[in-house]
Structure 1
Amino acid sequence: MAAKDPVTLLESEAKIGHIIDHQICTPTSSNASSTTFATSKASSASSLSAIKEKSLPLLITYPLPAEKLDEKKFRLLRHVVFTVYRRLFTLVIMANIIGLVFIDYRHRDFTSYIKVISSAASGNLFVAVAMRQDYIINILCEVFAATPKSTPLRIRRILTKVFEFGGVHSSAAICSTAWFVRLAINLTMNFENGTLRDIPTLALAYVLLLLFTAIVVFAHPKLRQKTHNTFERIHRFAGWTCSVVFWTLIVLTSKALSEAPGAEHSAAYILIRLPSFWLLSLNTIHGFVPWLRLRKLEATPEPLSSHALRLHLKANIADFYTIRISDSPLSEWHSFACFVDAIPRNGSTNSVVISRAGDWTSKTIANPKPFYWTRGLPTRGVLYMSLIFKSVVLVTTGSGIGPCLNLLAMDPSTRPSVRVFWSAPNPLATFGQEIIDNVYAADPNAVIWDTKQFGRPDMPAVTWQLLKESGAEAVFVISNPKVTGLVVYAMESRGVAAYGPIFDS
């Protein structure tokens, strides 16, 4: 079909398509000026004799309006530069800068300064680690998701941004590294003037600083995306090494402080009174706890196509949870939204859908294993926050339909009313009849767009159409970062509440 602007395609009248019991419609004409809407509807019959013809016009009756009339630079600052993630990031940075000014003003002597600096570094490290703990993530989500639907929409829109808590994690980690820079500089200065003559303490401070710097550098979004496996290994093994080095450092620092001129207490006395000692103890526990829940899950693979695989797991996990699975626990972990199996396979209770997106997913689809490892607690996903809205538009692409099945499978009386827009190549052939049926059971008028037949749709335009048709309160997008950012910005810049996973959620 000749290339044509997606909006023009949307505005074209659709030709009559054939519906064969939940099948995806195919166009009756290849004319570029007219196309059929890539969708299907549930048929009451269950055999080929139930073939019906039905006109499925696709007319954009609600054209995507211009962005709100605020200054463009301000709009970009609000929705692109100063996202909630970055606002939280900035808040933590500013708090630490204020703390640094206060500490430099109040503490002059070597002993007190070292204690306060190490405590500030440990405090930030504790916050960074705590914000990645499964139980803390789940508590935050449970508290915010308990917001009644009767709460004013403005408040619910703000509370839903809870999943951008990663801004606190990353900024606290950077601040911890910055405090270690300050600690290393101070130790070096005191080494040069003769106040501190402990070479091991100084050397360990620089080793620790080097490790933290490596963790922070490889966590940068672009580097993290390009070298994900390297990022994950450095985060894990450098983090463990940091814990060992840090323990050694605070013990040696306590010893050095006890031997400093004018010291009145022993190293043990100083150690147990250092906030760093207790904060590091909590961090060490946090490091061990997820691995205490290392489990092997039986998996029954169900090949959906050459591009997608459904793993049926014996996991006993409730709705709206994400699990990390791996076939090599010390190497790499991958997160997938887990949904309850409507039709158990080999005693399974839950499923995940895996689509081809990289080396690991390609390997798993080609050669699935009979078991996979999981660790820690399952964590709440972004879609869990959709429960505080009365109605939503669900936008997804490809295997993003997997997480959405949690919402779609709920009792209609307990979940928000939902409209679905799912764009994927050959949805029926790639993901199977069962998933198609699940989508239409929740939204009989769901929009399923076959990109192989019709090319890529104008995602914001179709989303806006469904939003205006349904009068929904919010839009949730489950897709790759590019599409998620495109649709979320298009909606937010027009005053609509829109949410989607961010790189660090």
Structure 2
Amino acid sequence: MQTQERSSSCRGVAFDIKPHADPFAIKIPWLGSPKEFPSFIQRSISKSGSHFCDLDLDDEDHEDISLEVVEQGNDVEKQIKQTPLTLLTASIHEQASKPSRKKNSRLSVILLDQGFFTVYKGLFSICLILNITGLVLATTGHFSYGKNRTALFSLANIVALTLCRNEAFLRVVFWLAVKFLGRSWVPLFIKTATTSLLQSLGVIHSSCGVSSIAWLMYALVLTLKDGDNSSPEIIGVASTILGLLCLSSLAAFPLVRHLHHNVYERTHRFAGWIALALLWVFIILTISYDPKTKSYKKDISSSLIKRQEFWFTVSITFLIILPWMTVRRVPIKAIAPSGHAAIVKFDGGVKAGILGRISPSPLSEWHAFGIISDGKKEHMILAGAVGDFTKSLVSNPPSLLWVRKVHFVGLPYLVNMYDRVLLVATGSGICVFLSFLLKPCSVDVRLIWVAKGIEQKFGKEIKEMVSGWPKDKVIVHDTAVFGRPNLSQLSINAARNWSTEVVIVTSNPEGSRDIVNACKAAGISAFGPIWDS
């Protein structure tokens, strides 16, 4: 049985811990000079994460190392107490006495622990309520246009859902947001509101998908009731399209999508393509059918271009085909710094905050990764050896891979909209942030990176990228040496001391949720990946 790849907003690596001499110390820039924890703290009981960039901040074993450190001498305790950043560096006493919290499943964190009153769920509700209102008015006879053009409303929803997943369109939308709002005089609340909205656009895809099914079901009911003015072929094609849309939606249901991502991806893709082909058949049959003669007209070109349904179908087809027109098979250089990860290099520089997709077989599967680039000659990704494809990058590196030339954007790209930003990353969630360190940009970026075994697992090249940045702007915490910090408090204190406008987090679902919620409770704007990012 093949190991299934899972989707993630953050592409990172989970590693086992080995004792080593840490190349970094925890940098505390506002104290005037870098401070280090005692060098004899040489082991961590951190467990390997179960996902790409997991960092289990609440392990039961963490209490053991906290107590062990205290027992090694009062000098350690005094040194930590004397710094004003005790909480920032994860107070030993706080962690030792903190009661163990019940670990929620990843799925519950993704689906339920994000809160019910979020922008994401609000957009879903608004879109669905608008469509339901239109349907109710149409069925009760108060919206005659909707009742007479049900198929058109179904198509309109499909256009909207396609737009919200079209990478080229979203690239333009995000670019416009950064271009016009990424100015110092724009109020911060406008920037954060825009970030919340753009981060949640994917939900319109889901909501419009459900709405399109509802409108199509209503259209089919009306057609069956008025069977004399339709043909069995039209009803059959419409019923098949409805079935394919339902299958596609069921495959995208969060439980299926999370546990069986490959099934979701392939079902969503091929069911959608077949439905699109049948949609053209449906449009042609509908326009050419003459209910009076019970036959089909041969010349429908003049009638076709006058129908809104035709132009909506053209738009849907163009939006779906566009990303595939940029698919290319390109040469790559794959390096494995360890048995747990591979660095894959491509030609061409990329702007900071951009993400990309690669595939061994474009019709089968695609994998998204954060891109590291200095914006000049090349860009790279760091792929964790988790599933069959990513493991093959380590054990049997290919010389060619399929890529989409149009890279896509997400939350990291919106860093460009702010003046001062604190970036918080765990594991190889650092990747998408490294570009902000490698090339000059207008954003004053500060970084916290918590990871396991920097050079041993990520390689010398990644280590040098981080170590080459001014030390007063970076905090690197190696859990293989120092254990797990209280990352939420670390982020809060760093954001306050650096006077950053916003905190952007890239971690596992539970870690991102905890940091974002803690920052918001402290009055600091914060964003992290959502499950549908």
**TM-score by structure 2 length?**
0.76
Q: Could you tell me how far apart the structure 2 residues matched to 1:242 and 1:353 are? A: 36
Separation in structure 1 between the aligned mates of residue 219 and residue 529 of structure 2, nearest angstrom: 36
Distance, in Å, in 2 between the alignment partners of 1:388 and 1:495 is 20
Distance 1:200 1:26, change over 3 A: farther
For the 8 Å contact 1:22–1:437, the answer to whether it is kept is no
1:200 alignment partner, one of 233, 258, 280: 233
Matched, 1:335 2:368: yes
Q: Whole-Å Cα distance in 1 between the matches of residues 23 and 243 of structure 2?
A: 62
Q: Distance in 2 between matches of 1:62 and 1:482?
A: 20
| Unmatched tracts of structure 1, length 5 or more | 1-16, 37-54, 65-75
Conserved 8 A contact 1:103-1:116? no
Q: Which residue in 1 is equivalent to 2:193? A: 158
Relative to structure 1, the CA distance from residue 270 to residue 78 in structure 2 (aligned partners, 3 Å threshold; closer, same or farther) is farther
Which residue of structure 2 aligns with residue 117 of structure 1?
150
The whole-number CA distance in structure 2 between the counterparts of 1:178 and 1:218 is 17
CA contact (8 A) 1:312 1:341 kept: no
Q: Specify whether residues 149 and 160 from structure 1 end up closer, same or farther in structure 2 by C-alpha distance, changes over 3 A only.
A: farther
Q: Distance in 2 between matches of 1:395 and 1:443?
A: 17
Aligned to 2:488: 460
2:499 pairs with 1:471: yes
Report the CA distance shift for 1:20/1:152 in structure 2 as closer, same or farther (over 3 A).
closer
Instruction: Label 1:209 to 1:225 Cα distance change in 2 as closer, same or farther (>3 A).
Output: same
Q: Is the 8 A contact 1:392 1:476 kept in 2?
A: yes
Q: Which is further off, 23-32 or 352-361? A: 23-32
| Alignment pair present for 1:189 and 2:225 | yes
Could you report, residue by residue, the CA deviation over 1:391-437 in whole angstroms, capped at 9, with x for unpaired residues? 2221111111110111122326x22241x221222122111233223
Task: Decide whether aligned partners of structure 1 residues 197 and 411 sit closer, same or farther in structure 2, where only a CA change above 3 A counts.
Answer: closer
Q: Are 1:173 and 2:209 matched, yes or no?
A: yes
Q: Which residue, out of 250, 260, 263, partners 1:227?
A: 260
List alignment gaps of at least 5 residues for structure 2. 1-19, 27-35, 44-64, 71-78, 92-110
Query: What is the CA-CA distance between 1:118 and the residue it aligns to?
Result: 0.5
Q: 1:318 to 1:152 in 2, by over 3 A?
A: closer
Alpha-carbon distance in 2 for matches of 1:389, 1:380: 16
In structure 2, the residue matched to 1:491 is: 519
Give the letter aligned to residue 324 of structure 1: R
- Report what 1:28 is aligned to: 40
Report the Cα offset of residue 269 of structure 1: 5.4
Q: Distance in 2 between matches of 1:426 and 1:25?
A: 16
State how far apart, in whole Å, the 2-side matches of 1:250 and 1:177 are: 17
| Aligned partner (choices 423, 438, 451) of residue 450 of structure 2 | 423
1:385 aligns with 2:414: yes
Which residue does the alignment assign to 1:436? 463
1:476 deviates by: 0.5
For residues 193 and 342 of structure 2, the distance between their equivalents in structure 1, rounded to whole angstroms, comes to: 36
Could you tell me how far apart the structure 2 residues matched to 1:26 and 1:277 are? Answer: 71
* Match in the other structure for 1:60: 87
CA distance in structure 1 between the aligned counterparts of 2:328 and 2:268, rounded to whole angstroms: 21
1:83 deviates by: 1.6
Q: 1:449 to 1:138 in 2, by over 3 A?
A: same
SS in 1 for 2:242: helix
Cα distance between partner residues in 2 of 1:18 and 1:233: 45
Name 1:361's counterpart in structure 2: 390
| 2:430 aligned to which of 398, 401, 406 | 401
Measure how far apart 1:442 and its partner are: 3.0
Q: CA deviation at 1:335?
A: 1.2
How far did residue 19 of structure 1 move?
7.1
Q: Which residue of 1 aligns with 2:440?
A: 411
Name the aligned partner's letter for residue 268 of structure 2: H
Contact 1:19 1:25 in 2 (8 A): no
How far off is 1:294 after superposition? 1.5
Structure 1's 186 and 417: CA in aligned 2 closer, same or farther, altered over 3 A?
A: same
CA distance in structure 2 between the partners assigned to 1:18 and 1:235 by the alignment: 47
1:449 lines up with 2:474 in the alignment = no
| C-alpha spacing 1:22/1:493, structure 2 compared with 1 (3 Å) | closer
Q: Is the 8 A contact 1:317 1:350 kept in 2?
A: yes
| Contact 2:178–2:417 (CA under 8 A) maintained in structure 1 | yes
Q: Is the 8 A contact 2:423 2:445 kept in 1?
A: no
Partner of 2:95: none
Which residue identity does 1:28 align to in structure 2? F
Q: Quote the Cα distance in structure 2 between the aligned partners of 1:77 and 1:323.
A: 28
The residue aligned with 1:215 is 248
Distance in 2 between residues matched to 1:491 and 1:373, nearest whole Å: 39
Residue 308 of structure 1 is matched in structure 2 by 341
Q: Judging changes above 3 Å, is the alpha-carbon distance between structure 1 residues 427 and 26 closer, same or farther for their aligned structure 2 residues?
A: farther
Deviations 1:439-470 (A, max 9, x none): 23335153322233444433212211212222
Higher relative contact order (CA 8 A, sep 6+): 2
The 1:135/1:499 distance shift into structure 2, 3 A limit, reads: same
Q: TM-score, normalised to structure 1's length?
A: 0.80
In structure 2, give the amino acid aligned to 1:367: N
| Cα distance change, pair 61–173 in 1 and its aligned pair in 2 (3 A) | closer
- Asked if the contact 1:302/1:310 (under 8 Å) is kept, the reply is yes
CA RMSD of aligned residues (A): 3.3
State, as a whole percentage, how many aligned pairs show the same letter: 26
Q: Which amino acid aligns with 1:166?
A: G
Q: 1:376 to 1:250 in 2, by over 3 A?
A: farther
Letter in 1 for 2:412: L
